[in-house]
Amino acid sequence: MAEVTAGMTMEGPNHPKRNGDGPVASRGRVVLADDDLLLREGVASLLVRSGFEVVGQVGDGSSLVALVREMRPDLVIVDIRMPPTHSSEGLDAARVIRGELPEIGILVLSAYVETDHAMELLGSGRRVGYLLKSRVTDVQEFLETLDRITKGGSVVDPALVNELVAARRRDDPLAVLSVREREVLHLMAEGRSNAGIARQLWVTEGTVEKHVQHILTKLDLPETSDDHRRVLAVITFLEGR
């Protein structure tokens, strides 16, 4: 059974006080999604004491999408792994929300670095963030992060940045090539023959042939009796740009 809590408000030492002219404006309306009930309640309590209005809480991805459609908050704070499979339900829900309601800010607050899914979400535009729970050590900085996202900014945990850079390096098939071999491959992609490449680089045609063989070997392209390997090498180059 889906777990949904809506409309949480409370007074606290940092919560905006009401006066004769009515309530002080909220820092933003927030929906929380995390299957860890105690953590979720703790974050909700912190937000309310700090001037945010927590308009709903859920413990699974499908309930999150439904609640956001109903409440239209300023910000959604979502974990990645939630029921039923504890894989990427939170990110899946975040993508749906971003597609339907791009004006809503989204902060992924997770214990895990999920580079493949995170790239798609982080590349979707403004009002988005990704933080690791274990690295949130300053409450004020955390609250300021929420403010930046609701105002149109983006925030990415440095640990995620490092992982994304490392993943890019691991996945780059051209990383095995030398600078000169990349130059030769670039000229191959322009349709130049070995002779044309040699004239462009001011080297002998034999030197170019050696570079081409090194490129094909390093890119692990199978030997054939035609020029198909050169075509595959060029495709690899174009895909890696």
User: Chain-centre distance of CA 93, in angstroms?
Assistant: 14
Residues 176-223 pLDDT 10s: 888 899 899 888 877 788 999 999 999 999 999 999 999 988 888 766
**Domain endpoint, select from 129, 152, 169:** 169
> Looking at residue 152, what DSSP letter applies?
T
* Residues 134 and 18 placed together within one structural domain of the fold: yes
Dihedral pair phi/psi, residue 100, rounded to 5°: -90, -35
198 & 153 share domain? no
User: In this structure, are 165 and 178 located in the same domain?
Assistant: no
Give the per-residue pLDDT at 189: 79
Residue-number span of the structural domain to which 104 is assigned: 4-169
pTM, two decimal places: 0.63
Regarding whether 140 and 158 lie in a shared domain, the answer is yes
Tabulate helix, strand, coil % of the chain (nearest 5).
50, 15, 35
Number of domains in the chain: 2
How many Cβ atoms sit within 10 Å of the Cβ of residue 43? 22
The domain that contains 75 carries what CATH number? 3.40.50.2300
Choose the final residue of a domain: 169, 196, 223: 169
Question: Which residue's entry shows tokens 């939170």?
Answer: 90
Look at residues 197, 157, 192 and name the one whose alpha carbon lies nearest to residue 180. 197
* Percent above pLDDT 70 for the chain: 76
Of 169, 189, 205, the position where a domain reaches its end is 169
Q: Give the range among 60-74, 147-161, 223-237 with minimum mean pLDDT.
A: 223-237
Nearest to 202 by CA among 218, 217, 184: 184
| Res 11 pLDDT > 80 | no
Q: Say yes or no: 85 and 20 in one domain.
A: yes
d(CA 153, CA 67): 24
The CATH number of the domain holding residue 207 is: 1.10.10.10
165, 185: one domain: no
Instruction: Assess whether 188 and 116 both reside in one domain.
Output: no
pLDDT at 20 over 50: no
H helix count then E strand count, the chain: 10, 9
Task: Tell me how far apart the alpha carbons of residues 9 and 12 are, in angstroms, rounded to a whole number.
Answer: 10
The number of angstroms, rounded, from the C-alpha of 37 to the middle of its chain's C-alpha atoms is 25
Higher pLDDT among residues 146 and 3, named by residue: 146
Pairing, β 75-78 against β 105-110: parallel
For the chain, give the mean pLDDT: 82
Shared-domain flag, residues 144 and 187: no
Alpha carbon distance 65, 95 (integer Å) = 10
Clarify whether residues 155 and 191 are in a common domain: no
Instruction: Report helix, strand or coil for 82.
Output: coil
